């Protein structure tokens, strides 16, 4: 028997923070609502018992929108837009402050609702997960003439379970891998369900802009555009060797594979981590000498974040590594193994600094990462 088809789903909640708020303010349904205010925008009850909401038109300040309901999006408002600018487009939109506690509670509930039906889940943050449906009973079944009938019914059931548990809608993409599933879940938002198999790639994926691929950011997107490559199909048609020349061996080859919809990464489930890392892509490329202070500050901050991650999860690690990506997209890594496991920020910073000394830093950097591997349980604190 041939191995079962891989069936990987990506699930993303619709207008997540805003939808959570509508659960407690149902009277706002159908209205443009944006999230992003501070405490002073907390709704207040009027003498008539009705909530009084802050309006975007009354906003002054430099804040940005965290998310917007689809009604607000129809007026051109979106995440990361300055609220003063948004107010010009839709002064009547309701403004609500951010309440992470509420969103975290909803997040836990929707994930539990999915886990009841499909336990192999990779957590990708507050409002999204990958789900491996390959081995879920019924997922491989043909229903009538529909070879995807089984998995279609399962995905609907997952959506229903999420809605029952939270009152919220989500969008799901089901495809042979994580890369395509992430793209597919966005194709029919909100409340969408998109199934897409490899043979539909030319028709449904290739017309999309390259930026829809998770991993092609603004800079790579701009460089591709300068080469005349706008769609995923154009990227797929471009010679692989030229991508490797321009973007480096690893990223260039990955671009080619991604455009052809190929991705065999497994789901990373909640089992024991092998390493913990933090990385950041800079707003602008930084040079080791000219931007020394800023780079040093970011470097230290990454080490502190990794140390905090280790402490929170109660791990210490023996191997400290760094990852650099240069402005020509070349990526290099260096690592170093310590005599004893550590979770101490200063010790990590020291070891990462030694790694950095082994790299030629004449080119500007676009990304810096710090990683601690060979993890051991325990809270040993090394003295430095």
Residue 122 engages Mg ion in binding (rule: CB under 5 A): no
Helix (H, G, I), strand (E, B) or coil at 251: helix
**Is residue 128 annotated as part of the catalytic site, yes or no?**
yes
User: Of 99 and 291, which CB lies nearer to ligand TTP in the complex structure?
Assistant: 99
* Cα–Cα distance for residue pair 130/373, rounded to 1 Å: 24
The backbone torsions φ and ψ at residue 254, rounded to the nearest 5 degrees and listed phi first, read -65, -40
Question: For residue 216, what are the contacts with CB-CB under 8 A and spacing of at least 6?
Answer: 210, 224, 255, 258
Residue 344 engages Mg ion in binding (rule: CB under 5 A): no
Kindly name the residue from 27, 122, 128, 186 that is annotated as catalytic: 128
Helix (H, G, I), strand (E, B) or coil at 255: helix
- For ligand TTP, what does the binding mask look like between residues 77 and 116, x meaning CB under 6 A? --xx------------------------------------
Site for ligand TTP in 173-232 (CB under 6 A): 189-190
Binding Mg ion (rule: CB under 5 A), the pick from 7, 8, 10, 16 is 16
Binding ligand TTP (rule: CB under 6 A), the pick from 8, 10, 14, 254 is 14
Least Å distance, CB 12 to ligand TTP, is 5
Residue 128 engages Mg ion in binding (rule: CB under 5 A): yes
Angle at 69 between CA 64 and CA 74, to 5 degrees: 95
Q: What does each C-alpha distance from 174 to 11, 233, 266, 279, 361 come to in angstroms? A: 9, 20, 15, 29, 43
Query: Two tokens at 267?
Result: 């789901």
Site for ligand TTP in 256-295 (CB under 6 A): none
User: Of 125 and 228, which CB lies nearer to ligand TTP in the complex structure?
Assistant: 125
Q: What does each C-alpha distance from 273 to 269, 270, 308, 375 come to in angstroms? A: 9, 8, 15, 8
Q: Is 127 annotated as a binding residue?
A: yes
Q: Which residues are annotated as a binding site for Mg(2+)?
A: 12, 127
Interface residues with ligand TTP (CB under 6 A) are 12-17, 66-67, 79-80, 126-127, 189-190
Residues known to be catalytic: 128
């Amino acid at each position: 028997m041939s191995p079962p088809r891989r069936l990987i789903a990506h699930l993303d909640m619709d207008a997540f923070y805003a939808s959570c708020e509508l659960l407690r303010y149902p009277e706002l349904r159908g209205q443009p609502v944006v999230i992003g205010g501070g405490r002073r925008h907390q709704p207040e009850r009027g003498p008539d018992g009705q909530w009084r909401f802050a309006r975007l038109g009354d906003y002054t300040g430099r804040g940005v929108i965290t998310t917007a309901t689809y009604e607000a999006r129809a007026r051109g408002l979106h995440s990361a837009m300055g609220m003063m600018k948004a107010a010009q487009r839709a002064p009547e939109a309701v403004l609500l402050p951010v309440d992470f506690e509420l969103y975290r509670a909803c997040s836990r509930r929707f994930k539990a609702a999915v886990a009841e039906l499909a336990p192999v889940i990779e957590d990708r943050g507050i409002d999204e997960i990958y789900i491996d449906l390959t081995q879920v009973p019924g997922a491989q079944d043909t229903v009538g003439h529909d070879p995807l009938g089984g998995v279609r019914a399962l995905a609907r059931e997952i959506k229903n379970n999420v809605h029952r548990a939270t009152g919220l809608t989500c969008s799901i993409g089901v495809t042979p891998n994580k890369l395509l599933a992430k793209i597919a879940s966005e194709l029919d938002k909100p409340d969408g369900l998109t199934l897409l198999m490899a043979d539909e790639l030319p028709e449904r994926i290739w017309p999309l802009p390259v930026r829809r691929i998770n991993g092609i950011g603004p800079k790579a997107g701009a460089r591709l555009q300068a080469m005349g490559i706008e769609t995923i199909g154009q990227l797929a048609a471009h010679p692989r060797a030229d991508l490797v020349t321009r973007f480096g061996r690893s990223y260039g080859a990955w671009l080619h594979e991604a455009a052809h919809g190929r991705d065999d990464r497994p789901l990373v489930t909640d089992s024991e981590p092998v390493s913990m890392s933090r990385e950041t892509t800079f707003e602008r490329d930084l040079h080791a000498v000219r931007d020394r202070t800023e780079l040093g500050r970011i470097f230290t901050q990454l080490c502190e974040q990794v140390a905090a991650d280790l402490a929170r999860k109660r791990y210490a690690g023996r191997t400290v590594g760094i990852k650099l990506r240069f402005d020509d997209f070349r990526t290099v890594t260096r690592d170093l193994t310590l005599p004893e496991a550590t979770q101490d920020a200063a010790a990590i910073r020291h070891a990462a600094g030694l790694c950095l000394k082994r790299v030629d830093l004449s080119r500007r950097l676009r990304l810096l990462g710090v990683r601690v591997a060979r993890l051991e349980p325990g809270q040993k604190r090394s003295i430095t």
